[in-house]
Structure 1
Amino acid sequence: MFVLILKYVASIEKIDELIPAHRQFLDKYYLRNKFICSGAQVPRTGGIILCNANDKEEVKQIIAEDPFYIFKVAKYDILEFIPSKYAPDFESFI
């Protein structure tokens, strides 16, 4: 399991221009059961994606398709972790 932390490195206006394309990217990986949840940070300096990829290489391949990455308006930190405790409804993601 991976936590993807996005940090915006461009103006919010540029981020907003890319939001529709970024949401299409998110939808693609929600349909493939790779993304579990996502959203903006508060304050709005970036975002968070909880990702259920097989390994870090797969995560990098996924990220490479994000318009935020392609147009260099956000940087990604990738944190890998192994869930050891979780709510029963979350078990299908493990």
Structure 2
Amino acid sequence: MLYHYGCGMFMVTVTYTASVDVVDRFRPAHGDWLKQLISQRLLLVAGRQIPLTGGVYLASEMSTEDLSRLLATDPYVLNDVATHSVVEFTPLMVAAGLEDLKGQ
């Protein structure tokens, strides 16, 4: 369950629950899902963990309910090969050029 404590962004970690060989079967659909969400600015960043045990996303400000619904549509989750863990945070300091993320 996600709890919302105010205006913030979300860091989402993805943990594979199946072998990479099994996860790879769903990687194209997962990639399309990520591209769509990034084009809509629902996700701001997405990448792989090193070593390859999952991934990490930065999600823009939204309700926890909307984030839960969004993450439930991940092809990895739909095919039971990964889980998500969510941390909400408020960006207080940002690098030059990312000021629009501050205090979302």
Higher helix share: 1
Fold shared, TM-score > 0.5 on shorter chain: yes
Report the counterpart of residue 20 of structure 1 in structure 2.
28
Question: C-alpha distance in 1, partners of 2:76/2:61?
Answer: 19
Find the partner of 2:72 among 21, 40, 64.
64
Per the normalisation by structure 1, the TM-score is: 0.94
Give me the identity figure in percent: 30
Root-mean-square deviation (CA), in Å? 1.0
Report the counterpart of residue 10 of structure 1 in structure 2.
18
After the TM superposition, list the runs of 4 or more consecutive aligned residues in structure 1 that deviate by more than 3 angstroms. Answer: none
In 2, are the aligned partners of 1:8 and 1:46 still within 8 Å (CA)?
A: yes
Question: C-alpha distance in 2, partners of 1:53/1:23?
Answer: 22
For structure 2, the 5+ residue unaligned runs are 1-8
Q: CA deviation at 1:25?
A: 0.5
Aligned length: 94
Which structure would you say has the larger Rg?
2
In 2, are the aligned partners of 1:53 and 1:59 still within 8 Å (CA)?
A: no
Per the normalisation by structure 2, the TM-score is: 0.85
Question: C-alpha distance in 1, partners of 2:81/2:96?
Answer: 37
Output the amino acid matched with 1:26.
L
